[in-house]
């Protein structure tokens, strides 16, 4: 099987009925890019920038960040690279920020909430991203958006930093796509509102599932509630994809679910455009997608939204895969 996968490294991902979907990778550092290319990644769907900020005693400078972002987009040679702005807080702490302990860190002061308040930290990152944008196909994504006001505030700061750079005669790409993570139920339910004001969505199922099911993603005792195939989750995913398409935008997924072989047929049938996963999952996912027909899976996937339980969904998909294999 490994040998068969290896043959697919330089292939694009075309379904049996000729539909292209993009298989991208999640990375944490520039060093991960090599593995992405070796595994045939068509892009980077999520660059988690928080690792630049962790395990150190002070904030990374604009220059340091610029070098890291530039390295990633250059090494990807024009392939799309979605860089997510700082998603700190929750399970990821920064000792040097000295933030007060919270009762519910996953529901607290994290990610975009922190960035919109700690404006210097955010502006420094935005400048580094904008400067790196001329070296490749760089896209910017905001994490943990819950309201339109947050999205608008983040976009406004990005526009301000862009204008400043231009007035300093520093080059910035004119083609940067700006998107957001959909990982809070409010944004999935009201995806139509957000779709008008972004270029793309990326569904963060790791958090979307924990918030929808009210089950801490780190807590073993409640892990039975962490159900990617729950019809409620599938319905949210569909709402997000449909909202994006209704507004001519694309929808990806960068949570673990995107690389899951039971989820993939469902996501393809629901119309997902981009699947971002750990690099080692890309070739298995490509080999699976080559055997699937998007058109055939459309009504199947939509039927799954109306089953009673996650177990029933999983069983139906497994039956289906048994017939395709
Ligand atoms: C997610 O929430 O699904 C996601 C991709 O982000 P993270 O795992 O970094 O929270
Ligand atoms: Mg998340």
Q: Catalytic residue at 115?
A: no
Distance from the alpha carbon of residue 3 to the mean position of ligand 1, in angstroms:
31
Angle at 25 between CA 172 and CA 184, to 5 degrees: 80
Nearest to 170 by CA among 106, 202, 126, 220: 126
Q: What does the alpha-carbon distance between residue 317 and residue 165 come to, in Å, rounded to a whole number?
A: 51
**CB neighbours of residue 12 within 10 Å:** 12
Collapsing DSSP to helix, strand or coil, 43 comes out as: coil
The answer to whether residues 231 and 306 touch, using CB atoms and an 8 Å cutoff, is yes
pTM of the model: 0.97
Q: Which of 24, 27, 48 to mutate to test the pocket of ligand 1 (most atoms within 8 A of CB)?
A: 48
The residues placing their C-beta within 5 Å of ligand 2, an ion, are 183, 204, 207
Q: Which residue do the tokens 């690389």 mark?
A: 259
The pLDDT, as a whole number, for residue 138 is 98
Go through 29-56 and write b for each residue having 16 or more CB atoms within 10 A of its CB, e for each that does not. Answer: ebebbeebeebbbbbbbbbbbbebbeee
The pLDDT, as a whole number, for residue 4 is 85
The pLDDT, as a whole number, for residue 255 is 96
Distance from the alpha carbon of residue 143 to the mean position of ligand 2, in angstroms:
7
pLDDT by 10s per residue, the chain, length 325: 788 888 999 999 999 999 999 999 999 999 999 999 999 999 999 999 999 999 899 999 999 999 999 999 999 999 999 999 999 987 788 889 888 889 999 999 999 999 999 999 999 999 999 999 999 999 999 999 999 999 999 999 999 999 999 999 999 999 999 999 999 999 999 999 999 999 999 999 999 999 999 999 999 999 999 999 999 999 999 999 999 999 999 999 999 999 999 999 999 999 999 999 999 999 999 999 999 999 999 999 999 999 999 999 999 999 999 965 5
Give the up-direction half-sphere exposure of residue 31: CA atoms within 13 A in the CB hemisphere.
2
**CB neighbours of residue 6 within 10 Å:** 12
The pLDDT, as a whole number, for residue 100 is 85
Pocket around ligand 1: residues whose beta carbon is below 6 Å from it? 46, 48, 87, 183, 204-207, 254-255
- ipTM of this complex prediction, to 2 decimal places: 0.99
The pLDDT, as a whole number, for residue 40 is 97
Report in angstroms the alpha-carbon separations of 5 from 10, 197, 256, 266, 290. 10, 39, 20, 22, 11
The pLDDT, as a whole number, for residue 320 is 95
Q: Which residue do the tokens 């420094």 mark?
A: 124
**CB neighbours of residue 224 within 10 Å:** 10
The pLDDT, as a whole number, for residue 131 is 98
Which is the closest atom of ligand 1 to the Cα of 202?
Answer: 5
The pLDDT, as a whole number, for residue 89 is 83
């Amino acid at each position: 099987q490994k040998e068969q996968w290896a043959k697919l490294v330089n292939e694009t991902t075309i379904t049996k009925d000729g539909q292209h979907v993009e298989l991208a990778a999640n990375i944490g550092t520039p060093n991960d890019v090599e593995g992405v290319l070796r595994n045939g990644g068509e892009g980077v769907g999520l660059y988690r920038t928080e690792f630049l900020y962790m395990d150190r005693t002070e904030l990374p400078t604009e220059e340091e960040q610029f070098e890291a972002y530039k390295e990633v987009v250059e090494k990807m040679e024009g392939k799309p690279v979605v860089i997510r702005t700082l998603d700190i807080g929750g399970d990821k702490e920064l000792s040097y920020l000295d933030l007060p302990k919270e009762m519910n860190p996953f529901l607290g002061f994290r990610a975009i909430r922190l960035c919109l308040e700690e404006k210097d930290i955010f502006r420094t990152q935005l400048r580094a991203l904008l400067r790196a944008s001329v070296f490749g196909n760089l896209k910017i994504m905001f994490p943990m958006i819950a309201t339109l006001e947050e999205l608008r505030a983040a976009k406004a700061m990005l526009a301000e930093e862009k204008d400043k750079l231009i007035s300093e005669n520093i080059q910035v790409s004119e083609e940067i796509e700006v998107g957001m993570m959909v990982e809070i139920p409010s944004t999935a339910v009201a995806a139509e509102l957000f779709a008008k004001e972004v270029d793309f969505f990326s569904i963060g199922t790791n958090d979307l599932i924990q918030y929808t099911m009210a089950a801490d993603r780190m807590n073993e005792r409640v892990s039975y509630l962490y159900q990617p195939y729950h019809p409620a989750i599938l319905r949210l995913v569909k709402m997000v994809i449909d909202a994006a398409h209704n507004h001519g935008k694309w929808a990806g997924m960068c949570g673990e679910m995107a690389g899951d072989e039971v989820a993939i047929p469902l996501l393809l049938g629901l119309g997902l455009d981009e699947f971002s996963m750990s690099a080692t999952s890309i070739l298995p996912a490509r080999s699976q997608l080559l055997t699937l027909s998007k058109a055939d899976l459309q009504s199947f996937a939509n039927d799954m939204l109306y089953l009673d339980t996650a177990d029933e969904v999983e069983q139906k998909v497994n039956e289906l895969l048994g017939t395709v294999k």
